[in-house]
Amino acid sequence: MADLKYRLIPYGKANNIHVPINIVLIDTKDIAACKINDTDAMKAVAKELAEPTGISIFDMDAVTTTSDGIMIPGAIIKMAAADNGSINPDFGILPMAEIAYSEEIIKEEPHLKQWDANYKGRKLFRGPNPKDKIIPVHNVVITGRASNNNSATEMMNIATMEEILLPILGQMQIMTGGDIVTGYTGEVISVGIGMTVKELYGRVFPTRQFGAGDTAHGSGIYAKTLKKSIPCIVADKSILAKYTLAALKAGMRAGVEIGCSPAVIAVSKAFGAEVDIDKITPKALEELQSIGFTKDFIKQKTEILSEEEIIKRADEIIPGVESLSKIKSTQIVHIKTLKVN
Amino acid sequence: MRVMHTKLPDFIDKMKQAVKKNTPQKNITINGLENLKSAKMQSLRTGRIESAVEEIAKKQNVDKVELIVIPRVPETMHTVIVKGIDKDGNCDSAILEVINILHQTEEAYTSGCKNIEDRRPQIGRH
């Protein structure tokens, strides 16, 4: 017998938001320490909690990308959804694909130049390989009422239809006990999560479908309403600023190598990194304009700040999240153990 | 070839008859087919489901039967047809879109039941 450690944000109230299902994050090293495999670890958690639960396994030595193409340390390597104490054998577990390093992939996905610049030699995971899944479109696992979608960044109870958005950077903060923000997505995040980059086996899209400067939403003024009222747990904005700056310093440009999300544009402007409006597609621009990121606003020169100043003033520079509440992740995360063999 | 697929109303009738055959005092409710107005149901499985309904109905502890039809693969892909109709009732213009719908899997419907026999073939087999 061994004690498996896992992090739990239980169903119910967490700070100022409602969490629709149990959220469980496990470090792959904690599974290895118990000498069991990932599937057995996830099944043990499913049995222990019994109610709708989303489960993610992390390799903190690997790297991943945010939806707008910012590379960050740590990655989800497997996800599951559990209900009634079990995991559906066909649809309940899905591994993420390891992306092999090659010159070709750096050429096809120029935001991966950050791999060389900032994370050389580390394993890269984003979404699953389509050949590993039966569900045709979404990168989702489902068991009973529980759904863990978009490669474990969006969890839902399909019966109550409640949902929570868990951007990857916020989950990394939970894994490291860092600072997070809880609140509701709002219009800025609703628009921003459509500003993706082309990725093979991406977190949301399996093929290189929507490039930097474009929008996956393509729904004009409706984009800001699509995901505007969803509870979310995100990283403190200073953390988002830090990693966005690391990408900019590695030569990434909004709408060219990385996405043109409001957060990327805002940090770029503050850092004095030019945003080429011509690289943003009319569809993406229409969505940005609907939340105040007009052509004039994007072109307008603002005070150039130092890296340190941007991180310090991230809350006023980066828009997004309504009813925002800054807390330590340890205030809502329970460190638990359960006996496994 | 006429026996290869079963008409939707015949499918529903067969299930009702399968309950009444041995247990006329028992009833069946059928959920999950309400949105279908016309459909052809796989005959091979129709027979097996009739058999399962009869078997469950005959159980001494069973008071009534519920038959629930859900998507086997819990994400279904649908074409959406947005139609504009003119004053004469004709289709003036249309836009085709797609929407993918996520559904609960069977565990959501069998909570608390310890006596479950899975007779489904692997996905992709009949």
Contact B104 A140 (CB under 8 A): no
Cβ distance A91 to B73 less than 8 Å, yes or no, reads: yes
Query: Encoding tokens for residue B33?
Result: 């087919």
What tokens appear for B107 in the block? 């565990």
pTM metric for this prediction: 0.94
Using a CB-CB cut-off of 8 Å, the residues of chain A touching B110 are 84
Along the 341 residues of chain A, how does pLDDT read in single tens digits? 999 999 999 999 999 999 999 999 999 999 999 999 999 999 999 999 999 999 999 999 999 999 999 999 999 999 999 999 999 999 999 999 999 999 999 999 999 999 999 999 999 999 999 999 999 999 999 999 999 999 999 999 999 999 999 999 999 999 999 999 999 999 999 998 898 999 999 999 999 989 999 999 999 999 999 989 999 999 999 999 999 999 999 999 999 999 999 999 999 999 999 899 999 999 999 999 999 999 999 999 889 999 999 999 999 999 999 999 999 999 999 999 999 98
- What is the rounded distance in angstroms from the CA atom of residue A234 to the CA atom of residue A239? 10
Stretch (H or E) spanning B107: none
Structure confidence by residue, pLDDT tens digits, A75-114: 999 999 999 999 999 999 999 999 999 999 999 999 999 9
Say which residues have a Cβ less than 8 Å from residue A49's Cβ, sequence separation at least 6. Answer: A8, A22, A24, A82, A85
CA distance B88 to A136: 40
Mutate to test the interface with A, among B70, B98, B104 (most CBs of A within 10 A): B104
Reported ipTM: the value is: 0.91
pLDDT tens-digit map of A193-215:
898 999 999 999 999 989 999 99
Segment B24-79, tens digit of pLDDT: 999 999 999 999 999 999 999 999 999 999 999 999 999 999 999 999 999 999 99
CA distance B30 to A155: 30
Instruction: Tell me what pLDDT residue B3 has.
Output: 57
Task: Decide if A144 and B100 are in contact by the 8 Å CB cutoff.
Answer: no
Please name the helix (run of DSSP H) or strand (run of DSSP E) that holds residue B91, with its range, or none. Answer: strand B91-102
- Inter-chain residue contact B75 with A136, CB threshold 8 Å: yes
Contacts of A92 in chain B (CB under 8 A): 105
Can you give the pLDDT at residue B1? 47
How far is CA A252 from its chain centroid?
19
